[in-house]
Structure 1
Amino acid sequence: MITDYNLPDNIVDILNANKREDDDTFQELIRQGGYVPPHINLLIDAISALSMGKNILLKGPTGAGKTKFAETLSSLFHQPMFSINCSVDLDAESLMGFKTLAYQDEKQKIEFVPGPVTSAMNDGTFLYIDEINMAKPETLPLINGVLDYRRTITNPFTNEIITAEKGFNVIAAINEGYVGTVPLNEALKNRFIVIDVPYIEGEDLKQLIESNTKLTDKTTIDLFVTLSTDLIRAVYQGKLAEDAASIRALLDACDLSAIIPPKRAILRSIVDKLDEEREREFVKNLADTLF
Structure 2
Amino acid sequence: MNNYQLPDQISHLLEENKKREQQEFRDLIREGGYVPPENELLVDAVTALSMGKNVLLKGPTGSGKTRFAETLSHLFSQPMFSVNCSVDLDAESLLGFKTLAYQDEKQVIEFVPGPVTNAMNHGTFLYIDEINMAKPETLPLINGVLDYRRTITNPFTEEIITAKDGFGVVAAINEGYVGTVPLNEALKNRFVVIDIPYLQGEQLNQLIKDNTRLEDDRIIDLFVRLSGDLIQAVSQGKLSEDAASIRALLDACDLSVLIPPKRAILRSIIDKLDEDREKDFVLNLTETLFG
TM-score normalised to structure 2 length: 0.90
User: CA-atom RMSD, angstroms?
Assistant: 1.5
Does 1:266 find its partner at 2:265?
Answer: yes
Q: Measure, in 1, the Cα distance between the counterparts of 2:272 and 2:32.
A: 26
Paired amino acid for 1:49: A
Structure 2 matches for 1:62-101, cutoff 5 A? Answer: 62-101=61-100
8 Å CA contact retained: 1:65, 1:247: yes
**Identical residues among aligned pairs (%):** 78
Paired amino acid for 1:273: K
Q: Measure, in 1, the Cα distance between the counterparts of 2:154 and 2:63.
A: 35
What's 1:167 paired with? 166
Paired amino acid for 2:262: K
- Runs of 4 or more consecutive aligned structure 1 residues displaced over 2 Å after TM superposition: 6-10
Structure 2 portions without partners, runs of 5+: 1-8, 18-30
3-state SS of 1:172 partner: strand
Which whole-Å deviations, capped at 9, do the CAs of 1:80-134 have from their partners, x for residues lacking one?
0000000000000000000000001110000000000000000000000000000
Which whole-Å deviations, capped at 9, do the CAs of 1:119-158 have from their partners, x for residues lacking one?
0000000000000000001100000000000000000000
3-state SS of 2:158 partner: coil
What's 1:153 paired with? 152
3-state SS of 1:95 partner: helix
Paired amino acid for 1:271: I
Q: Please, which of 11, 16, 39 is the counterpart of residue 14 of structure 2?
A: 11
8 Å CA contact retained: 1:125, 1:169: yes
Paired amino acid for 1:93: E
8 Å CA contact retained: 1:7, 1:44: no
| Alpha-carbon offset, residue 180 of structure 1 | 1.2
Paired amino acid for 1:70: A
Q: Structure 1 262/12 Cα, relative in aligned 2: closer, same or farther at 3 Å?
A: farther
Structure 1 portions without partners, runs of 5+: 1-5, 15-31
Paired amino acid for 1:201: Q
3-state SS of 2:183 partner: coil
| Alpha-carbon offset, residue 177 of structure 1 | 0.4
Q: Measure, in 2, the Cα distance between the counterparts of 1:256 and 1:10.
A: 37
3-state SS of 1:36 partner: coil
Does 1:135 find its partner at 2:134?
Answer: yes
Structure 2 matches for 1:226-241, cutoff 5 A? Answer: 226-241=225-240
Q: Measure, in 1, the Cα distance between the counterparts of 2:16 and 2:77.
A: 14
8 Å CA contact retained: 1:38, 1:198: yes
| Alpha-carbon offset, residue 33 of structure 1 | 2.8
Paired amino acid for 1:160: E
Q: Measure, in 1, the Cα distance between the counterparts of 2:10 and 2:286.
A: 37
| Alpha-carbon offset, residue 12 of structure 1 | 6.8
Structure 2 matches for 1:84-233, cutoff 5 A? Answer: 84-233=83-232
Q: Measure, in 1, the Cα distance between the counterparts of 2:174 and 2:268.
A: 20
| Alpha-carbon offset, residue 246 of structure 1 | 0.3
| Alpha-carbon offset, residue 36 of structure 1 | 1.4
Q: Measure, in 2, the Cα distance between the counterparts of 1:90 and 1:12.
A: 40
8 Å CA contact retained: 1:129, 1:173: yes
8 Å CA contact retained: 2:10, 2:75: no
3-state SS of 2:285 partner: helix
3-state SS of 1:177 partner: coil
Q: Number of residue pairs matched?
A: 269
Which whole-Å deviations, capped at 9, do the CAs of 1:24-78 have from their partners, x for residues lacking one?
xxxxxxxx73111000000100010011110000000000000000000011111
3-state SS of 1:137 partner: coil
Q: Structure 1 134/283 Cα, relative in aligned 2: closer, same or farther at 3 Å?
A: same
